[in-house]
Amino acid sequence: MINESEDVGEKAEIRRELRLYRGYVEDDDLRSRITDWIDESHELTEADTAERYVEQRLNELLEEYPMYHSTAQKRGEDAFPDECKECRHYGSSCPVLLDLVETDWRERRLEEAETEQEARRIYQQQARDVGCTRIPAYLNEYENEHEDFMREGQALVSEVLDAIHVDPADVSGEDVEVATDGGER
């Protein structure tokens, strides 16, 4: 698994920085955009990597659907969400979630992954190998929604630091003297 602390992620760090400097921002529009970004960040998943996002989404699937045909359903298809219709395992048993060989393989490979790209490739390979249609959809969701949002947050941090005249190299999470009048700090 990629080395990251469970409770500290990129989104949380951006949120902390924006909160720290929001009070020093004099521009009402910028302050409003900061508040909006912070509010929206609480509504989004806390998954800061594609790996965590895909795992979270797969777990949500398993919480909502059995993902295998059993006597509890008249039809095997009733055990799956409609989004899985294109999968060749639809109506029988989901190997991504229920096949121990597949889940063990994925977990073992993800533990060895050193980068975000490696983790994505592992998911993509498993999706190709078993014919899963949800994993590529989840990776696309993450890329389209989450990454754009994170870039927006990073851009806001840069804009705030420029607006309050703080050198990003000086930002360490410690107390920082801020010059809002263009003077020395």
58-66: average pLDDT:
95
pTM: 0.70
Evaluate whether residue 152 is within a structural domain: yes
Domain of residue 30, residue span: 10-170
Nearest to 141 by CA among 19, 54, 40, 82: 54
Reply yes or no on whether the pLDDT at 170 is more than 90: no
Evaluate whether residue 161 is within a structural domain: yes
Average pLDDT, the chain: 86
- Look at residue 38 in the predicted model and tell me its pLDDT: 94
At residue 177 the predicted structure's pLDDT band, cuts being 50, 70 and 90, is low
Contact 126, 105 (CB under 8 A): yes
Evaluate whether residue 132 is within a structural domain: yes
Reply yes or no on whether the pLDDT at 42 is more than 90: no
Evaluate whether residue 95 is within a structural domain: yes
Q: Cβ neighbours of residue 105 under 8 Å, at least 6 residues apart?
A: 126
Which SS3 state, helix, strand or coil, does residue 68 take?
strand
